[in-house]
Structure 1
Amino acid sequence: MQRINIFLLLLLLIGFASCMKDEVLWQKGRMNHKSRSAGLFITNEGNFMYGNSSLSYYDMEEETVENLVFFETNGFPMGDVAQSMVIRDTLGYVVINNSSKIYVINTNTFKCVGKIIGLNSPRYIHFLGKHKAYVTDLYAKKISIIDPLGDYEKTGIVNGKIIGSIDVSNDDTEFYQHPTEQMVQYKQFVFTNCWSYDNKILVIDTNTDKVVDTIEVLKQPTSLVIDRFNHIWTITDGGYKDSPYGQEAPGLQCIDAETRKVLKTWRFEFDDWPSEVQINGTKDILYFINKHVYRMPASLTAEPECFIKNPDVDKQNGGFYGLTIDPNTGEIYVANAIDYQQQGIVYRFDRTGIPVDTFKVGIIPGAFCFKPSLD
């Protein structure tokens, strides 16, 4: 008799679960995160056209990582190729390149509070004020001007929208120029590097929202930072073998933000592939990837030194792919994409290069974003 009752109870439970809607079941088991402490977001690109990008969150104090935090919190995937992320106040703007949108999340709960659509192939976002930001684009031949908040203060929902654009097209029809990427600001001027099949840094006057100057650099500048001396640093990959745009030895270049002149160029080996120039919190030490992690003082007389060795440098696939520096502690985080198919790895080092922690994240970890503490 007791066995029959247990059997009937199991049938009832199964029947009850089958009557529940899928979203109700998910609501009962979803992530409910809330944190006031500092942390680090990792945007995992995922594979192009697979829609498997993801967001990871690392608690630096507890040394714990949570993966798939966007999906587990909101119940839907981010989309195709998570390119970058920027935090303003308590909102995180995650740029989803091939899905042509920006998701906006509460950085303490990971809940999606809105999105910005109507973009072409967005890459990076740069804030100019509460209701104005620039979004660069790989294919649009324009930089979008957006209102990143919309009516958020009234409704609690970000209904950001495109409010204008900056024409960056030119007369070169052979290549799809100018594809705009990262941005730094000096006075009212925003500088953006043009990477794919290009060799220009554009200068935009934020008062008029127009391109007012161009700076010619080496082929394919991949990234951009500005130091405490108002020098802009870019690193170039030089193109690739048999590229229709040609190939040259890559390099590191320093540009005076005031005069917009190239002050010095450091050249690398012809087949090197440098990337990810970064700067520390005091803006006086540069870091970049060239198989290994290199560092150097932000000085015209310094030379790069190999700082952190890449354990996978001799492998056909894998190796260092993403890089960031904690602006408060000087700690270094390096992402390894491994084979671009499985979960990537992030290495954490202290400011002297001593390993601190290692943790797995999503597929192709490419960019980082530090979340400040609310305390």
Structure 2
Amino acid sequence: MLRHLSIYLMALAFALSACKKNEETPPGQFAHGVFIVNEGNYTDADGSIGFYDPEDGMVVQDAYEKANGEPVSGLFQSIYFNEDMAYIIDQLGSKIVVVKAETFEYVATIDEGLSTPRYMTVANGKGYVSNWGPFDENFDLPNSYIAVVDLSNFNVINTIITDKGVEGMTTVGDKVYAAASYSNVVHVISPQADEITGGFTTPGGPLQFAEDGTGKLWVLCNDFVTSSLARLNLSNELVETSFSIAGGAKSITTNAAGTKIYYMCTPWQTPDGVYSIDNTATFAPLVPVLSGDGLYGLGVDSDEIIYIAKSNGTDNGTIIRYTLDGTEMDNFAAGRFPNGFVFRE
């Protein structure tokens, strides 16, 4: 009797152990929510990645510090999520800090082969990072390039020379697109060959991209005084249409369906504004959805709530949420110079 009981208990213990192994690991604290890129102040290198949970209103001012017990120094331009990793781009330190996407626990630092990195995308299992390179004596950027990163070991394995001031990056289908902001050029890159295979000439210096629901790529362009918005046809590599818009173009995104494009302009002599345009539009709007001073970053979540990152000089910034008609919903504190959002929903 005791022998049979012992065998039964052993079998039960084995079964329970097997069940535990098959259970999914519960998600980390930062699995779902809104990530805020706080650049930080240049002289203090105090950039941070904030986190906001719209379900319960929880705000974490520095996700990295909360996860690792200490902050990471840097001037953060952007963050990119890919599978179970997140890549924090530090332009001042010319490095990328790699963390686990759901917990923000430190994984690695990429600090070789980079020079003023700006933005990142992933294609063909590799990371593509835009690098301005150093400024010359004329405050120009003649040595810009894209660093190609092996994501299995975080080593830079290749470089692609680009036109000046390479900035925003995105992947659509089997191609990588890179905005050369000082050159009025969008490069088309083959991630199989790691070389430039084509391109677009844009009406101004291209900054950032947004893909709409029809597969067209919109690019926001800025020449300091004048700005423009162009729609690119990726199948024939032609600028399909372009619009003149308010000066000081800064940020662009779409709604979840890709039917509306939202963009932010920060002209010198008039209030900053956020505008909305249909993806089939034939002219640009003249009246913004919302306006104000110090607008510095833009995001739109899947519920079409507009997120505005407001800079307050060298003081901490503010995040303000708006409905589609420009009515303020609520706001909360951010770090210094908040410039953008990533939504993990």
TM-score by length of 2: 0.82
Letter in 2 for 1:56: G
Unaligned runs of 5+ in 1: 1-32, 151-159, 169-176, 241-248, 313-318
For 2:145, the equivalent position in structure 1 comes to 142
Task: Kindly provide the CA deviation profile for residues 180-221 of structure 1, in whole angstroms up to 9, marking residues without a partner as x.
Answer: 1112233322111111x3211111112211111231112322
Query: CA 1:62–1:183 in structure 2 vs 1: closer, same or farther (change >3 Å)?
Result: same
For 1:190, the equivalent position in structure 2 comes to 176
Where do residues 66-85 of structure 1 align in structure 2 (5 Å cutoff)?
66-85=60-79
Query: Would the aligned equivalents of 2:38 and 2:49 in 1 still touch at CA under 8 Å?
Result: yes
For 1:366, the equivalent position in structure 2 comes to 339
Shift of 1:342: 0.4
Where do residues 1-375 of structure 1 align in structure 2 (5 Å cutoff)?
34-35=28-29, 38-118=32-112, 119-129=114-124, 131-139=125-133, 140-150=143-153, 160-168=154-162, 177-195=163-181, 197-240=182-225, 249-268=226-245, 272-290=247-265, 291-304=272-285, 306-312=287-293, 319-326=294-301, 328-339=302-313, 341-372=314-345
Query: CA 1:311–1:300 in structure 2 vs 1: closer, same or farther (change >3 Å)?
Result: closer
TM-score by length of 1: 0.75
Letter in 2 for 1:347: I
- C-alpha distance in structure 2 between counterparts of 1:49 and 1:216, whole Å: 36
Task: Kindly provide the CA deviation profile for residues 351-373 of structure 1, in whole angstroms up to 9, marking residues without a partner as x.
Answer: 4443322011100001211223x
Query: Would the aligned equivalents of 1:49 and 1:80 in 2 still touch at CA under 8 Å?
Result: no
- C-alpha distance in structure 1 between counterparts of 2:54 and 2:152, whole Å: 29
SS in 2 for 1:343: strand
Letter in 1 for 2:231: C
Query: Would the aligned equivalents of 1:78 and 1:96 in 2 still touch at CA under 8 Å?
Result: no
- C-alpha distance in structure 2 between counterparts of 1:205 and 1:283, whole Å: 25
Letter in 2 for 1:45: E
- C-alpha distance in structure 2 between counterparts of 1:62 and 1:358, whole Å: 14
Query: Would the aligned equivalents of 1:329 and 1:351 in 2 still touch at CA under 8 Å?
Result: no
Letter in 2 for 1:78: V
Shift of 1:305: 5.6
- C-alpha distance in structure 2 between counterparts of 1:330 and 1:90, whole Å: 26
Shift of 1:268: 3.0
- C-alpha distance in structure 2 between counterparts of 1:108 and 1:185, whole Å: 23
Letter in 2 for 1:323: L
RMSD over equivalenced CA pairs, Å: 2.0
- C-alpha distance in structure 2 between counterparts of 1:74 and 1:281, whole Å: 33
Query: CA 1:88–1:187 in structure 2 vs 1: closer, same or farther (change >3 Å)?
Result: closer
For 2:21, the equivalent position in structure 1 comes to none
Shift of 1:80: 2.6
SS in 2 for 1:258: coil
What is the identity percentage for the equivalent residue pairs of Structure 1 and Structure 2?
24
Query: CA 1:307–1:63 in structure 2 vs 1: closer, same or farther (change >3 Å)?
Result: farther
Greater strand share, structure number = 2
Query: Would the aligned equivalents of 2:289 and 2:325 in 1 still touch at CA under 8 Å?
Result: no
Letter in 2 for 1:123: R
For 2:269, the equivalent position in structure 1 comes to none
Shift of 1:89: 2.4
After TM superposition, what 4+ stretches of structure 1 lie above 4 angstroms from structure 2?
A: none
